[in-house]
């Protein structure tokens, strides 16, 4: 019994020592630190002091300042757009983004790179990077020695002492053999060149302050085994296996991540953990990733309560699944981002973070189970209902919904006009067009020609102008005919063109009347009886046959002294009825559709239909829209189906909306998703037709093509 007690006590003591050692070791392991020496302990203490000094007790003040900056930038951009229109698009930059408006709209930005340090917004606005230090140019894309990096490499510049502004001599691809440790007071500036960091380690900022990373393409980052790596000018040490993050911010403050393209990394795209604060992530383009952004290390690490992060002006695009971001503790301001894709959720969290969402655009996926933007982990509704999650002036599309909770977030006293508004995105807006599935010309075509019969404004305008031709030819005693005749003169029984003296309205009517510049439909659909020939031109009117005499007898027309003579005038010169018949006519122009006079009125709508079919060479498709027994939306669906204009995956791939490897059927059958496959051959959806036939008691042969269903 005594021996058993001793063994139990010894085991308990050993377990206690193990747990304490494990608790102390875990943060170091997650930090990638193999040996937490005195130098790193001092660095951690200094970084923590700076983080506490960077913490904003009233974060709503920063929210207010950013809203005001954006409001002013949008006002300036609107004024610039008006100026550009007046100056025929030759003028200043028209960016409505306050960050880009600060530096990109300056013509000399390449000569004055330090200006970028004044452009930070949000919680990371204090980051000035390498301001005050020299410019270091990366000339070598290699990454060989981790302890004593080669001069000219990115790793060499990243660990130098003091402020340093790092630029790149040319476009290059850098494959990091281990994670890149960036020391304090650095700017990595990739503007003007294409710098890719890929197929290797990512970028880590640990126990540092005041860093800007701008204008890099980071993709396919891998976890690295670790080893002896230099993390500053005065220190190197053993590091354990890295996680495979594109950007890892650990115990750091005043960090600004801007204009990065991030995708396909082994772990996260951006991690902000272990007491980091004063961070802005802006203008980044993120695609093809699962765990996008993680803010907060653990549900048990309350040191992240000081975390304050701004996520602004980013695009969350194709292939993203979740965590945009996922937050623990802290205050996160998410504004004016474009969320076009997610599979599980967009914004999530645990441990009671405060999240303020303003002016974002959320386009939910088609999956009904993933319409909710927000996701809360490890908490019952009784708990998370007290978390402060707010949505203000967000734009929700395709059924997206933001579940708010908690009391309203306290705000500084700014006007509603300073609030962020959703910006236009890829599905249409002031500066962006939606997908055009069917040409406007087809939509405006007549129904019997396969269109929808939508009236086109230009055709309607031509028809109205054509009526003026009709009136001026019929009503020779009317007021307008006499006004125009007095202004431009009369020749051959009709008002002259007037040359440059003619107004734009009158010149357009003459073009329609004469059939100039391809506008010849008026002569095709109207004609008149020659009568005594006083108002019919002998040479240029088609009064004999279907074409004018000046075309059929060009040599005689060239020899004629009076090319504007009327038929009556030529008759007085000796051209009789027999002579006219000798030229191939019967003395009377046969009207094709109309005759001048009061027999038939001028119908504008019928003329619109005639104009709309001019030049139409498309195939005729049954006019499903006119079947009143079929609901309109069903008719439109069938109309698009027959033209293969439904948003099937093959069509989306063709238009570059989704990647080529995402073209397979939504049913999971393994075949490419086309309209023919979905409606006819899919082993999941194809059974629909046999089920319908059984339901209505009809016997029919399976169709081999889509049009067979509409015979």
Domains of the chain: 98-418 (2.160.20.10), 457-613 (no CATH), 624-710 (no CATH)
Residues linked to residue 271 through DSSP beta bridges, in sequence order = 248, 294
CA distances to 253, 387, 533, 605, 644 from 454, in Å? 59, 51, 41, 12, 20
Q: Which helix (H) or strand (E) holds 678?
A: none
Annotated catalytic sites, by residue? 323
Tell me the per-residue pLDDT of 379-398, one tens digit each, with 9 for 90 and over: 999 999 999 999 999 999 99
Q: How crowded is the C-beta side of 593, counted as CA atoms within 13 Å?
A: 13
252-261, 522-531, 618-627, range with greatest mean pLDDT: 252-261
26: number of Cβ within 10 Å: 11
Average pLDDT, the chain: 79
Tell me the per-residue pLDDT of 574-620, one tens digit each, with 9 for 90 and over: 765 555 444 444 444 433 333 443 334 455 555 555 555 554 444 44
The dihedral built from the CA positions of residue 531, 532, 536 and 540, taken in this order, carries a sign that is positive
Query: Is residue 295 within 8 Å of 310, Cβ to Cβ?
Result: no
What DSSP string describes 525-584? Answer: HEE---TTSTTSBTTTS--STTS-HHHHTHHHHHH-S-TT-BHHHHHHTT--HHHHHHTT
As to burial, measured by CB atoms within 10 angstroms (0-12 exposed, 13-18 middle, 19+ buried), residue 89 is: exposed
Query: Is residue 187 within 8 Å of 212, Cβ to Cβ?
Result: yes
Average pLDDT of span 672-685:
83
Max distance between CA atoms of the chain, in angstroms, equals 148
Residues linked to residue 390 through DSSP beta bridges, in sequence order = 356
Distance CA 557, CA 707 (A): 55
Average pLDDT of span 267-274:
96
Tell me the per-residue pLDDT of 302-332, one tens digit each, with 9 for 90 and over: 999 999 999 999 999 999 999 999 999 999 9
Query: Is residue 177 within 8 Å of 141, Cβ to Cβ?
Result: no
Distance CA 548, CA 376 (A): 81
401: number of Cβ within 10 Å: 13
Distance CA 548, CA 9 (A): 119
3-17, 95-109, 341-355, range with greatest mean pLDDT: 341-355
Residue found by looking up tokens 């239909």 in the block: 609
pLDDT, residue 606, reads 56
DSSP assignment letter at 505: H
- Tell me the helices (H) and strands (E) count for the chain, helix number first: 20, 35
Query: Is residue 165 within 8 Å of 114, Cβ to Cβ?
Result: yes
User: Quick one: pLDDT band at residue 85, thresholds 50, 70, 90?
Assistant: very low
Distance CA 451, CA 155 (A): 62
Q: Which helix (H) or strand (E) holds 197?
A: strand 195-198
User: Which of these, 539, 534, 541, 535, lies nearest to 561 by C-alpha position?
Assistant: 539
492: left (phi over 0), alpha (psi -120 to 50) or beta: left
Distance CA 313, CA 258 (A): 10
């Amino acid at each position: 019994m005594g021996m058993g007690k001793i063994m139990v006590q010894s085991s308990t003591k050993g377990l206690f020592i193990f747990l304490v050692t494990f608790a102390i070791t875990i943060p170091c392991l997650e930090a990638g630190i193999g040996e937490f020496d005195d130098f790193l302990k001092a660095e951690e203490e200094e970084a923590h002091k700076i983080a506490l000094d960077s913490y904003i007790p009233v974060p709503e003040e920063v929210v207010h300042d950013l809203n005001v900056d954006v409001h002013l930038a949008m006002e300036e951009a609107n004024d610039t757009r008006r100026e550009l229109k007046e100056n025929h698009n030759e003028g200043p930059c028209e960016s409505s983004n306050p960050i880009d408006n600060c530096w990109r709209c300056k013509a000399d930005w390449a000569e004055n790179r330090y200006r970028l340090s004044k452009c930070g917004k949000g919680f990371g606005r204090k980051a000035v990077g390498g301001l005050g230090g020299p410019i270091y140019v990366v000339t070598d894309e290699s990454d060989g020695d981790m302890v004593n990096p080669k001069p000219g490499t990115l790793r060499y510049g990243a660990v130098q002492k003091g402020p340093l502004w790092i630029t790149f001599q040319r476009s290059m691809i850098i494959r990091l053999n281990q994670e890149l440790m960036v020391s304090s007071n650095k700017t990595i500036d990739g503007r003007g060149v294409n710098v890719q960091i890929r197929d290797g380690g990512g970028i880590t900022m640990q126990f540092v302050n005041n860093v800007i990373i701008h204008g890099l393409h980071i993709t396919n980052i891998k976890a690295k085994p670790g080893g002896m790596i230099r993390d500053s000018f005065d220190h190197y040490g053993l590091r354990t296996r890295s996680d495979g993050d594109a950007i890892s911010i650990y115990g750091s403050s005043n960090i600004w991540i801007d204009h990065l393209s991030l995708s396909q990394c082994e772990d996260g795209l951006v991690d902000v953990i272990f007491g980091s604060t004063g961070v802005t992530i802006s203008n980044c383009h993120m695609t093809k990733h699962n765990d996008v952004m993680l803010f907060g290390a653990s549900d048990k690490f309350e040191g992240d309560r000081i975390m304050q992060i701004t996520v602004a002006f980013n695009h969350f695009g194709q292939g993203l699944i979740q965590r945009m971001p996922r937050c623990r503790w802290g205050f996160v301001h998410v504004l004016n981002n474009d969320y076009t894709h997610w599979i599980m959720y967009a914004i999530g969290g645990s441990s009671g973070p405060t999240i303020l969402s303003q002016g974002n655009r959320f386009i939910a996926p088609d999956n009904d189970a993933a319409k909710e933007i927000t996701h809360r982990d490890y908490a019952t509704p009784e708990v998370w209902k007290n978390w402060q999650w707010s949505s203000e002036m967000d734009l929700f599309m395709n059924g997206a919904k933001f579940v708010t909770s908690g009391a309203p977030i306290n705000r500084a006293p700014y006007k509603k006009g300073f609030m962020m508004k959703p910006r236009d995105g890829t599905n249409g807006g002031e500066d962006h067009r939606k997908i055009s599935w069917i040409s406007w010309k087809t939509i405006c075509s007549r129904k019997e020609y396969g269109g929808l019969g939508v009236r086109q404004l230009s055709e309607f305008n031509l028809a109205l102008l054509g009526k003026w031709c009709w009136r001026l030819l019929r009503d020779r005693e009317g007021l307008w005919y006499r006004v125009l005749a007095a202004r431009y003169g009369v020749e051959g029984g009709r008002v002259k063109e007037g040359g440059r003296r003619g107004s734009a309205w009158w010149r357009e009517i003459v073009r329609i009347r004469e059939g100039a510049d391809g506008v010849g439909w008026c002569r095709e659909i109207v004609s008149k009886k020659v009568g005594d020939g006083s108002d019919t031109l002998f040479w240029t009117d088609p009064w004999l046959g279907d074409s004018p005499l000046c075309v059929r007898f060009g040599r005689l027309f060239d020899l004629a002294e009076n090319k504007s003579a009327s038929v009556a005038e030529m008759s007085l010169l000796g051209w009789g009825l027999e002579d006219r018949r000798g030229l191939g006519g019967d003395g009377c122009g046969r009207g094709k559709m109309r005759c001048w006079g009061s027999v038939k009125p001028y119908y504008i709508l019928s003329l619109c239909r005639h104009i709309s079919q001019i030049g139409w060479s498309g195939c005729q498709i049954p006019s499903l829209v006119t079947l009143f027994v079929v609901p309109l939306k069903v008719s439109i669906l069938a109309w698009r189906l027959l033209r293969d204009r439904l948003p099937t995956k093959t069509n989306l791939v063709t238009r570059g909306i989704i990647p080529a490897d995402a073209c397979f059927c939504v049913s999971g059958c393994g075949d490419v998703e086309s309209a023919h496959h979905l409606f006819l051959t899919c082993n999941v959806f194809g059974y629909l037709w046999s089920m319908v036939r059984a339901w209505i008691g009809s016997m029919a042969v399976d169709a081999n093509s889509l049009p067979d269903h509409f015979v």
